[in-house]
């Protein structure tokens, strides 16, 4: 199955989220087992997306969670609260959360376990910085991050864990897209070490490079930011990626 999703980061009001979903109804969306589509709205739009997307083959995620079940954690949200909203998956370990909000590998591991305990899927982001790549430590960095994120999680449960390789230098406006060759190399190493986990690529995925990335043998999905924030862009990438895979 090929996974294709987008995180909206801190973008979209509820009307904007509803409009995105409305556009998806005008397309014939692929379904499992061919593909699994997902969107990861900000917390405030999750319920809107869930309600408006009823009947669509679309999973809904959240962008963060606290590992504790409840308690005095002002500003935080538990897995049970996300499950109650109908979330299917929770993104953790994104480089922006690691760099801007101090999310550690230990926190990612605790969150992954809490997410799995409630029957949701963790979407675990990993990726090396430009400095780590330049000194030849890209493989070592992502293998360490994945190992720490999955520590103590048995193989049977790892199948529910999505890994997203997102090199930090490839993310966002200032990012430079990773070449398919660079993605293939890192994905091969990760797939060899963690064969149970579906492995997605993210970081400047676009209409221009999605087909080449989707065609790579160790890429089980694409995790898209800016290029999929408009529904038309998302649908274009879905169509191109799946037809690239069908040509393999």
Ligand X SMILES: O=C(CO)[C@H](O)COP(=O)(O)O
Q: Tell me the catalytic residues.
A: 94, 166
By 3-state DSSP, what share of the chain in percent is helix, strand and coil, each rounded to 5? 45, 15, 40
Tokens 């890994």: give the residue. Answer: 163
Dist. CA 58–CA 90, nearest whole Å = 14
Please tell me the total number of residues recorded for the chain in this structure: 248
Provide the minimum distance between the beta carbon of 64 and ligand X in the complex, in angstroms, as a whole number.
Answer: 12
Per CB under 6 A, residues contacting ligand X are: 6-7, 94, 166, 171-172, 175, 202-205, 223-227
Q: Are strands 35-40 and 58-62 parallel, antiparallel or unpaired?
A: parallel
Joined tokens for residue 239 = 């169509």
Dist. CA 24–CA 20, nearest whole Å = 7
Toward ligand X, which CB reaches closer, 86 or 175?
175
Provide the minimum distance between the beta carbon of 174 and ligand X in the complex, in angstroms, as a whole number.
Answer: 9
Provide the minimum distance between the beta carbon of 51 and ligand X in the complex, in angstroms, as a whole number.
Answer: 22
Provide the minimum distance between the beta carbon of 111 and ligand X in the complex, in angstroms, as a whole number.
Answer: 16
Q: What is the DSSP string of 137-200?
A: -HHHHHHHHHHHHTTT--HHHHTT-EEEE--GGGSSTT--PPPHHHHHHHHHHHHHH-TTS-EE
């Amino acid at each position: 199955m090929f996974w294709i999703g987008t995180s909206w980061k801190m973008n979209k009001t509820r009307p904007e989220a509803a409009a995105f979903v409305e556009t998806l109804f005008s397309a014939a969306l692929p379904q499992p087992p061919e593909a699994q589509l997902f969107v990861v709205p900000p917390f405030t739009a999750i319920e809107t997306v869930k309600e408006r997307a009823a009947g669509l083959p679309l999973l809904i995620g959240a962008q963060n969670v606290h590992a504790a079940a409840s308690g005095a954690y002002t500003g935080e949200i538990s897995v049970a609260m996300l499950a109650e909203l109908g979330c299917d998956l929770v993104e953790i370990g994104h480089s922006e959360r690691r760099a801007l909000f101090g999310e550690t590998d230990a926190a990612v591991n605790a969150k992954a376990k809490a997410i799995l305990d409630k029957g949701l899927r963790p979407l675990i982001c990993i990726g090396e910085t430009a400095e780590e790549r330049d000194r030849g430590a890209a493989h070592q960095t992502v293998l360490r991050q994945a190992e720490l994120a999955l520590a103590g999680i048995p193989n049977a449960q790892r199948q529910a864990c999505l890994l997203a390789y997102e090199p930090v230098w490839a993310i966002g406006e200032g990012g430079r897209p990773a070449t398919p060759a660079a993605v293939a190399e890192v994905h091969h190493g990760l797939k060899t070490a963690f064969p149970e986990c579906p492995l997605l690529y993210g970081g400047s995925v676009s209409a221009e490079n999605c087909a080449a990335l989707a065609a790579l043998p160790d890429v089980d999905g694409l995790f898209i930011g800016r290029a999929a924030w408009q529904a038309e862009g998302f649908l274009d990438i879905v169509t191109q990626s799946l037809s690239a895979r069908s040509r393999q």
